[in-house]
Amino acid sequence: MLNLRKSRYTVRIASARSDIAAAQRLRYLAFVSPQSSDLHRDEHVGDHGAGDERLDLDAFDDLCKHVLIEDRASGQLVCCFRFLDLESGASITKSYSAQYYGLDALADYQGRMVEMGRFCVHPDWRDADILRIAWGAMTTYVDDHDVDMLFGCSSFHGTDWAVHADALAMLKHRHLGPKGLIPRIKAPDVFKFAARLRRKPNAKRAALAMPPLLKTYLMMGGWVSDHAVVDRDLGTMHVFTGVEIKSIPAARKRLLRAVTG
């Protein structure tokens, strides 16, 4: 099981209901509360606890493993994410992403897959090491369990595609998924950016507008769907994101492994 100590942080997999509840409280703080921002959002949120217990939760929490990154000195939970381990694409319909994307093209994928989601960092913590350690931890799990593909949903804050036009145009021009794997449209409200956008992206504006989690996927050779799912209730647009481990550049793999080495 994943259990790491790096820099000032401890990384571990949740082992009790209280651990999962702590992750759900952090997710609420990062995704739902007024101080949350798109810097800490990776996908849209689920239900919320009643009364004073403010939680971000859904039915997938019981199916997933939850990774906690804590400050070693104070015990403060500073980052969390969850992942669903699938033996192959035959189980892809069990994933969170399958609610919003037609993933039939991935059903024949033979390798082991992990869906990563609900990634968030505590709004009060701005240490860049946290993101690096989180990806290093995920890399350790991938190596230890012979995972072949990571996937998930990556969200843009806001539903106005024009605000994200340069970033979406960059996704179209450089990062669309392989034709044999790209998801079909399933959600009722989508923006077909690959078909509709004709503009050449402004690289600087695109980089600034790209969500941090998505940016990391792309640096690893990741790819995206050709459309974004629009959630007007939650004020987000998200794209399906995948990365095959064999496609990650060797230099990037060395950097990720060095983080937790």
Res. 242: pLDDT tops 50 = yes
**For 70-85, what is each residue's pLDDT tens digit?**
999 999 999 999 999 9
Q: Sorting pLDDT into bands at 50, 70 and 90, what band is 49?
A: low
Separation in Å, CA 8 to CA 69, 75, 78, 92: 10, 11, 11, 36
Measured CA to CA, the distance from residue 254 to residue 163 in angstroms comes to 35
Measured CA to CA, the distance from residue 142 to residue 159 in angstroms comes to 33
H or E stretch at 81 = strand 77-86
Q: Across residues 172-189, what is the average pLDDT?
A: 96
**For 201-232, what is each residue's pLDDT tens digit?**
999 999 999 998 899 999 999 999 999 999 88
Measured CA to CA, the distance from residue 82 to residue 152 in angstroms comes to 11
pTM for the whole structure: 0.88
* CATH code for the domain defined by 3-260: 3.40.630.30
Domain assignments of the chain as residue spans, ordered by start: 3-260
Q: Sorting pLDDT into bands at 50, 70 and 90, what band is 31?
A: confident
Count Cβ atoms within 10 A of the Cβ of residue 213 and give its class: 0-12 exposed, 13-18 middle, 19 or more buried: buried
Looking at residue 38, what is its pLDDT?
A: 43
Helix extents (H) in 146-249? 165-174, 193-196, 203-209, 212-219
Q: Across residues 228-240, what is the average pLDDT?
A: 90
Looking at residue 70, what is its pLDDT?
A: 96
